[in-house]
Structure 1
């Protein structure tokens, strides 16, 4: 799956590059145009991730509440009418959704870095626009090759333990990481020269950051480590304490990813030469995002391992295979939960860096748009006062405006408005998606209860459950409930741009990035810890399956399901989609904002 995602991403980028070249568009002007391609990928990622998350968690929560808690039947038991919908949902949300999410980050980071490279080349002698554009696409290409080679070193024996399996998966990722770093060094050295090795350092920082975030995500969510085991201890005193413990664990787990992204951003900026050439520093931030995602081919494969193992366990349960088979699949599933949680942390971290790069590209687009509008005499005098610095440069020069740093006064009311609105947006989006899961899960619970009541023979194994109705409920719920969050993500930045202007949109994107990144990490890690705490108890801790701590852990896991599989991962796409929509519609927003200014002047 991982190779398919990165292969298709590079293939589509290459195809559209050639198509735009056929229309006579110069190479240095193509990357900003290809942002629209990224926006299309963002739309599909939102539908797959958010819609898939609602689908799978409606079925999962419904199956757990009625089947495991009320009826006392095992997970994935064929007597549960929601079982098939639950297993289908694992593929819809955790495979297709994760793939679409990281595909969007992958191409978004490449396009943003290409656009920033083209702009940076204007202020730096010794590097052409095409050379700067080639670097991110070449690093991504090396990553595909190294991911293929990395899969070849993932080898284990037949009776390997879970620890050995995890070590083998890590070995493949680390091998690919080292190989990408070496090939990228040689490429940059022989293409751009030793003078520009700083941008290789920026790429390397991104590579390392991805592994750091992945490791600490595993630490907080795997039952091999103290945080999740301590969380399972809190199940001894009931559902309330395990929920409180899971939330506190998630909050604490945000510290390291945030510090990692901060250090990565600063290091990438300064290593690239951002002190002397700010444009080159922003290019370095874009390359750090490309570096983090360069090994996506093998990283995504380890993420998809989780739902595959989960489905294998479901098939074993429904087929009535030997209990030993289920025990083995449960062990693999626990490992899969760890790799999936690590993948979510990786996806969130890469989304943060990609959004930073897109934010820088948005600033460049504002400069370009204001220049064009001023030259065409489509701006008012009041508009000039709002953007005086940029308009003065546009009046005096040609393309020089792209080389100018744009300062924003944080005490400007427009900026404060954007920061507050951006800060609250991920919470509103998460609330809508959580409510969507709750509604769809409520419908699922009613249907499962109805079938158990009207057909008592289902629990006795005499009557066959109506699986199709449950699948239909999840499908309808996902399609209906994802409308409001999707509209919010698409319309909000455009509306803010029209009413308050592009500077407010910059603040909106910055505010949503800060709060959204932290909220996404919190939700993903809390949900992963609750899930693995439950599985730790099911393997015999604190009385094992059927005990009171186990029932408390099931409640925690039920709360955590939409945290880690719906709302948390969907925030990644919210951040990237808003950035891309803002870039694509910047001309519309500035033009209409000019009219708004004239109306209220």
Structure 2
């Protein structure tokens, strides 16, 4: 029945929807718009590749980066194929609740799991593939044509990845709705899970790779030998540039794609339950509008004479967001009815706002949230504002005060960001009334309208960073060209920090909507399990979700604990891999004649090999934790404690992700502030202090922090997928406590074994050991 909701009818949801007539046409239009977005992506790729490639020396360096990044991702995908195969089989076994054709839905849920994983991998791989070809073109353009053409190449590279993200996300969701209609939400659970699982592994693996190389290069190059960041004498420079692409390009692109896919999944699940067939179509129309506004945003991103590059990018974002907001409101008023009775909903229990007003306000809240996060993150991580200036000033008194001030910025910014996100969720819930859950999901859809431009902003960062590195390593760029690339790198550094903040907000809205979907599915599964006997125990089951239940509080504590353990594992993995890099680079400086004089060539490939092997080895433990923790809690403690687990993880994960991202961003830009000539400039004691702060912040902002985003969604999706099985084993004719506890124990043992193996690995390589003998 349209409009069913836990507060009114928690135990009955009708999914027998028929997307026909005009609705079918609209979904087809969305599918066509997704192809248009992919077409624009192909056009932007062609435009980038048409640019000049610079000198032969530049091309040689870029080729080494390309080969390293390509080899890493191919090895990573082979490793992840094992996890994908296990998940595919598990999805075939898990029940799907009250789907019309359970067997068919289970099969295609698994099939679309692979499609979602494939799309996520494709966005990451193709984005990286273009980025490693765009970097030398940006460097060449800065030397031969000037700032504006160079900046345009970087932005077009990001635009291609943005169009790919939007196009594949919309294509997957619209095709599922067309094929499965009322059962589409169940199939989409697999699609979203595949995207989220691959993104989490790519985020963790790429983050460990890039920061291990970066930290090792900084500690030995800058601190110990006082040479520039991208000096070709440093054996870790190629690995550092490769890491920028497999982490910030491939990892972040996959992360934002899965946020896009998962938000759509949650919105379609809740929309079908709230508004019936219109709730299954409207969440597709809003991001489709976003695809169009993103195309406009890309074309209007043209630098003005003398204008700071960040101002140019921000202007494009705000204009694109405004177009998306206006367009979404127009769609809501044209598509949704003005009266609740037209949706078959009793007016007496409906929200005060009409359906079209409720949906419009919720979507606009999501768009405003993106703009607010952009401004807030920019303030706490930008070099023009007080927080970063204060961190830079503390470098005059040493590394300890730099670290303390950066931690302070991270802690404080997390509070304000959480308040902003909380206000958006609360505002959407208030306007949604009894449809609060769907309204929160619509706010997430509003945020999706900005994703195309957000991805473009993010990819611009590593492309400009690599362009500067290629210029410095080749020595073929004049001081004027080098200054242009330095400016673009500073802009890219800020855009990366900003997009991390927006990605966190997207993750929280998606996770909140998935959490709502979990509770709805739990209630539906309970009703299906008990059948006619549901009325007697329905209220008691519903009341087990209240927060003062001790088991729910235990679940919340466990959820918060997983976020801490996950972050610790990721940071520790960077520390181990970075230690191996440090010893290898030191060895090369010591044993290879003529490196410091520029006559000896470092063995770049050995460092690439070290971080490739170590990052792939280290990504398994966080992944196992994310997948098995909900299984252990859900089957061991029950449905309601698992709900508490998810709530604890979302709350703690939000604060932790913002803290890590903004503290790291503040340290990074404080270093750049000093390198620009403040507080003694490069080579000073203040510079050394900020480099140490930056090395601490690197795994914060580029490994653990961003990886929390997909972690939250993976755990929510796993919970959503297993809730029906938990209910079946806990209630009704299929009750089996022995099997339920056995599953929980095996999951807990799996986590314990993975953590134990991780802790048994050596932290660093000793001076007396060869660099390739890290303990597995």
The TM-score normalised by the length of structure 1 is 0.90
**Deviations 1:392-426 (Å, cap 9, x if unpaired)?**
8xxxxxxxxxxxx7662322221011011011111
Deviation at 1:390, TM superposition (A): 5.2
Counting only pairs closer than 5 Å after superposition, residues 401-416 of structure 1 correspond to structure 2 as: 408-416=545-553
In structure 1, distance between residues paired with 2:596 and 2:400: 30
1:79 aligned to 2:233?
yes
Deviation at 1:68, TM superposition (A): 1.0
In structure 2, distance between residues paired with 1:293 and 1:532: 28
Counting only pairs closer than 5 Å after superposition, residues 18-167 of structure 1 correspond to structure 2 as: 18=178, 21=179, 25=180, 27-121=181-275, 129-157=276-304, 160-162=306-308, 165-167=309-311
Aligned twin of 1:479: 616
Instruction: Could you tell me which runs of 5 or more consecutive residues in structure 2 were left unpaired when the two chains were aligned.
Output: 1-160, 339-353, 742-776
In structure 2, distance between residues paired with 1:299 and 1:101: 12
Deviation at 1:330, TM superposition (A): 1.7
Q: Are 1:502 and 1:586, in contact at CA under 8 Å, matched by a contact in 2?
A: yes
In structure 1, distance between residues paired with 2:537 and 2:668: 54
**Deviations 1:180-239 (Å, cap 9, x if unpaired)?**
111111111121133211111011001101110111100000011111001100000000
Q: Are 1:218 and 1:338, in contact at CA under 8 Å, matched by a contact in 2?
A: yes
Q: Are 1:201 and 1:271, in contact at CA under 8 Å, matched by a contact in 2?
A: yes
Aligned twin of 1:296: 451
The TM-score normalised by the length of structure 2 is 0.70
Counting only pairs closer than 5 Å after superposition, residues 366-405 of structure 1 correspond to structure 2 as: 366-375=522-531, 388-389=537-538
In structure 1, distance between residues paired with 2:738 and 2:551: 13
Q: Which of 315, 337, 356 pairs up with 2:493?
A: 337
Aligned twin of 1:596: 737
**Deviations 1:240-269 (Å, cap 9, x if unpaired)?**
000000000111111221111111111111
Aligned twin of 2:95: none
Change (3 A) 1:537 1:29: same
Aligned twin of 2:431: 271
Q: Secondary structure at the match of 1:458?
A: coil
Q: Are 2:273 and 2:279, in contact at CA under 8 Å, matched by a contact in 1?
A: no
Deviation at 1:73, TM superposition (A): 1.1
Structure 1 segments of 4 or more deviating over 4 A? 597-600
Aligned twin of 1:346: 502
In structure 2, distance between residues paired with 1:466 and 1:16: 49
In structure 1, distance between residues paired with 2:688 and 2:330: 56
1:168 aligned to 2:312?
yes
Deviation at 1:599, TM superposition (A): 9.1
In structure 2, distance between residues paired with 1:109 and 1:256: 23
Q: Secondary structure at the match of 1:388?
A: helix
Aligned twin of 1:458: 595
Counting only pairs closer than 5 Å after superposition, residues 150-229 of structure 1 correspond to structure 2 as: 150-157=297-304, 160-162=306-308, 165-194=309-338, 195-196=354-355, 197-229=357-389
RCO (CA 8 Å, sep 6+): is it higher in 1 or 2?
Answer: 1
In structure 1, distance between residues paired with 2:487 and 2:252: 22
> Could you tell which deviates more after superposition, 40-49 or 449-458?
449-458
Counting only pairs closer than 5 Å after superposition, residues 435-446 of structure 1 correspond to structure 2 as: 435-446=572-583
Change (3 A) 1:230 1:591: same
In structure 1, distance between residues paired with 2:738 and 2:371: 47
**Deviations 1:79-114 (Å, cap 9, x if unpaired)?**
111100100110111011111111111111111011
**Deviations 1:423-450 (Å, cap 9, x if unpaired)?**
1111100000000000000111111111
Q: Are 1:423 and 1:515, in contact at CA under 8 Å, matched by a contact in 2?
A: yes
Q: Are 2:525 and 2:728, in contact at CA under 8 Å, matched by a contact in 1?
A: no
Change (3 A) 1:10 1:60: same
Q: Are 1:371 and 1:391, in contact at CA under 8 Å, matched by a contact in 2?
A: no
Q: Are 1:499 and 1:596, in contact at CA under 8 Å, matched by a contact in 2?
A: no
Q: Are 2:294 and 2:320, in contact at CA under 8 Å, matched by a contact in 1?
A: yes
**Deviations 1:162-189 (Å, cap 9, x if unpaired)?**
3xx2221111111111111111111111
In structure 1, distance between residues paired with 2:326 and 2:387: 36
Deviation at 1:299, TM superposition (A): 1.5
**Deviations 1:109-155 (Å, cap 9, x if unpaired)?**
1110111011113xxxxxxx111111110001000011101112111
Q: Secondary structure at the match of 2:229?
A: coil
Q: Secondary structure at the match of 1:80?
A: coil
What number of residue pairs does the alignment pair up? 560
In structure 2, distance between residues paired with 1:590 and 1:448: 55
Aligned twin of 2:645: 508
Aligned twin of 2:174: 14
Change (3 A) 1:406 1:170: farther
Q: Are 1:199 and 1:268, in contact at CA under 8 Å, matched by a contact in 2?
A: no
Deviation at 1:14, TM superposition (A): 2.5
In structure 2, distance between residues paired with 1:356 and 1:297: 22
**Deviations 1:257-316 (Å, cap 9, x if unpaired)?**
1111111111111212x1xx2xx2110000001101212111210111111110010000
Change (3 A) 1:69 1:373: same
Counting only pairs closer than 5 Å after superposition, residues 228-307 of structure 1 correspond to structure 2 as: 228-272=388-432, 274=433, 277=434, 280-307=435-462
Aligned twin of 1:524: 661
Q: Are 1:232 and 1:242, in contact at CA under 8 Å, matched by a contact in 2?
A: yes
Q: Secondary structure at the match of 1:459?
A: coil
In structure 2, distance between residues paired with 1:416 and 1:597: 24
Deviation at 1:376, TM superposition (A): 9.9
Q: Secondary structure at the match of 1:463?
A: coil
In structure 1, distance between residues paired with 2:739 and 2:249: 50
Instruction: Could you tell me which runs of 5 or more consecutive residues in structure 1 were left unpaired when the two chains were aligned.
Output: 122-128, 378-383, 393-404
In structure 1, distance between residues paired with 2:479 and 2:664: 27
In structure 2, distance between residues paired with 1:100 and 1:363: 27
**Deviations 1:310-341 (Å, cap 9, x if unpaired)?**
00100000110223332321221111111110
Q: Are 2:544 and 2:640, in contact at CA under 8 Å, matched by a contact in 1?
A: no
Q: Are 1:306 and 1:333, in contact at CA under 8 Å, matched by a contact in 2?
A: yes
